[in-house]
Amino acid sequence: MMIRIRRTVIALVLLLLIGAHDLSAHAAPKVDSVFPLGGQRGTTVEVEVRGTGLKGTYAVWLGPGTGRESPSTKGPDGIEAHVKAVPDASRAQVRLAIAADARLGFHNLSLVSPTGLSGAAPFWVGAEAVAQAAATPHTSEETAQPVKLPVVINGRLTEGGQLNYYSFDVSREQKVAFEVIASHGPKAQAHLAIEPQLALYEAGGSYLDPRWSKRLLFHEEITQGGIPANRRTTYQFTRSGRYLVNFGNRLGAGGAGSTYLLRIAPADETAGAEESAISWAKRRLQAVRSQSVGATAADVELVKEAEPNDEPAQANAFRVPAVLEGTIGRSGDIDRFRFKARAGEKLTFEVQTPSAGPPRFNLRLDVLDAKGAVVLSNLSVQDGKIGTEATKVIRVAPELVSKLDQEGEYTLRVRDLTSLRGSADHAYRVLVRPQVPHVGDPRVRPEGPVNLRPGAKQRLTVSAPGKEDFAGTLALSVEGLPQGVKAFVGANGSTIELVADASAPATPLPQVVRVSGLPIVGAKSGSAFLVAEVPVMIVNK
């Protein structure tokens, strides 16, 4: 009896081991990190991709429009990729040739193997020189790595609490920007993701000891209390000299996979072309109309705040629809605008803060009636918890959707939630428009690539929130299916079943399946719009 039990246990263990091996062997590749994180136009970069299930990787997919020119793949935006080697299932070595006219910004890199397509990892392309952090330690002022501006630095944090120092020279009075373009923490420790910390010093500038460096405060540290949400800080240098900047993780974590991309350049070279308030407003109105049925185009006017406007009698007038542009220029600053509304008129107020944002700048909107009573607000108090303790949570929504019951003149009051901060960085835009019933932004799950074996199927779930009392449906269509794959839309219109025939041939590269939506209300329909592009591969392993 004992022998029989022992044999049964051994057989089960072997079965589990074989099953685990079979699952890992057939799992699609998974990408955890890419290093370096970026490169310069017109250069070639050797990149190491880390992840799991990378064995057999033979190509890099660079998004829709990628073509294969063996042994390389060429993307639509100026990057050519070649898989040089795959030392083991956790590493792949890739060579990226970046064209001189490659698109600036982030590109997506995915790996292709016989078991399918991985998710995408971002890789940044810039115009400035890109330097690799020195292999030798540069974790103190004395060992700081010298760099020449403008520069982008690919760096690593190999230990917890590590600070990496870089030194540079400023030859004249100028404003310099320090921007964390990207940062990456270990996937296994999402709660320890990198929260960038930057500190600026004037080398040998301490009054007490000329060997000590003098700490300098970034402009945003003074006006916003720290590094802003866009992770771009600036400093106005008033004299030439040698300066230092260090980079660390505010949470103190480091180790394998902790990487960053830091750009240091004159501020006018890094500012970029910011979308104007009127362009943003027109884009938002077009996006809403494209997801609706029967909505008509309407002109939108730009109204800039004019100080003084702190008091109700000083409110700037506007007519709906309009985009309001202003700045909370000092602590306690309040901006006021006035408008007329019909009884029962439904309005939407959308907020954008292009420079500073939460948690250091939270734009509060209040709509007051002719008697000065608040009738609408984007401020709400909700039940919440801190740890295990029940508490109240204050929330400022980026959008206010509501109805005005009475006809008359109203005042829109704009201010910071706390009234403690204000500066030129505290700029805002508020789009005030009539409500338009529309689908909202649909989402497709799963988001990642679909890897199908012959005879297998994958369900896609499409969810559409339905905004501003939209009472219709969203009809779906699917195009661009690989050979041997069919798509079936569920009766409820929210699911798509992708089914591969048993004889479906393998695809060497993904095919992009386009999911489109058509808003329908009663017997009327709007215009079709793109819901999602889903890469699909047929794999035989």
Which tens digit of pLDDT belongs to each residue from 467-491? 999 999 999 999 999 999 999 999 8
Q: Are residues 118 and 144 in the same domain?
A: no
Q: Are residues 308 and 380 in the same domain?
A: yes
Residue 73 makes CB contacts below 8 A (sequence gap 6+) with 59, 60, 61, 62, 66, 67, 80, 81, 82, 509
pLDDT band at 227 (very low <50, low <70, confident <90, very high): confident
Residue 157 lies in a domain: yes
Residue 260 lies in a domain: yes
Strand order, beta sheet including 408-416: 316-317, 335-341, 408-416, 363-368, 374-377
Residue 24 lies in a domain: no
- The full length of the chain comes to 541
Residue 7 lies in a domain: no
Rounded Cα gap, residues 146 and 169, in angstroms: 9
User: Quick one: how far is CA 93 from the chain centroid?
Assistant: 26
Looking at residues 127-133, what average pLDDT do you find? Answer: 92
Residue 394 sits at φ, ψ, to 5 deg, of -90, 130
What does the mean pLDDT of the chain come to? Answer: 89
Q: Are residues 338 and 384 in the same domain?
A: yes
Q: Are residues 258 and 334 in the same domain?
A: no
Looking at residues 192-207, what average pLDDT do you find? Answer: 78
pLDDT band at 512 (very low <50, low <70, confident <90, very high): very high
- pLDDT for 15 equals 38
Residue 340 lies in a domain: yes
End residue of a domain, out of 270, 289, 311: 270
Mind giving me the DSSP string for 175-219? EEEEEEEEEE--GGGGGG---EEEEEEETT--SS-TTSPEEE--H
Which tens digit of pLDDT belongs to each residue from 283-297? 999 999 999 999 988
Residue 4 lies in a domain: no
Q: Are residues 76 and 223 in the same domain?
A: no
Q: Are residues 246 and 304 in the same domain?
A: no
Which tens digit of pLDDT belongs to each residue from 346-359? 999 999 998 888 88
CB of 265 closer than 8 Å to CB of 128: yes
- pLDDT for 230 equals 77
pLDDT band at 384 (very low <50, low <70, confident <90, very high): confident
Rounded Cα gap, residues 340 and 319, in angstroms: 7
Model confidence, pTM: 0.85
- pLDDT for 208 equals 56
Rounded Cα gap, residues 17 and 389, in angstroms: 45
Residue 356 lies in a domain: yes
Q: Are residues 295 and 430 in the same domain?
A: yes
H-helix or E-strand containing 100? none
Residue 12 lies in a domain: no
| 392: CATH | 2.60.120.380
**Domain that includes residue 248, residue range:** 130-270
| 75: CATH | 2.60.40.10
- For the chain, percent of residues with pLDDT exceeding 90: 72
**Looking at beta carbons, which pairs linking 204-209 to residues 24 or more positions away fall under 8 Å?**
204/242, 205/241
- For the chain, percent of residues with pLDDT exceeding 70: 90
| 504: CATH | 2.60.40
CB of 451 closer than 8 Å to CB of 537: yes
End residue of a domain, out of 434, 456, 484: 434
Q: Are residues 150 and 244 in the same domain?
A: yes
Q: Are residues 105 and 172 in the same domain?
A: no
Q: Are residues 136 and 248 in the same domain?
A: yes
Which tens digit of pLDDT belongs to each residue from 156-179? 998 888 999 999 999 999 999 999
Q: Are residues 241 and 343 in the same domain?
A: no
Q: Are residues 109 and 70 in the same domain?
A: yes
Looking at residues 58-81, what average pLDDT do you find? Answer: 94
Residue bearing the bigger pLDDT, 166 or 421:
166
Reference 37, options 118, 144, 132; nearest CA is 132
Residue 327, pLDDT > 50, answer yes
End residue of a domain, out of 126, 152, 170: 126
pLDDT band at 321 (very low <50, low <70, confident <90, very high): very high
Number of domains in the chain: 4
Residue 210, pLDDT > 60, answer no
Q: Tell me which residue has tokens 């932004």.
A: 441
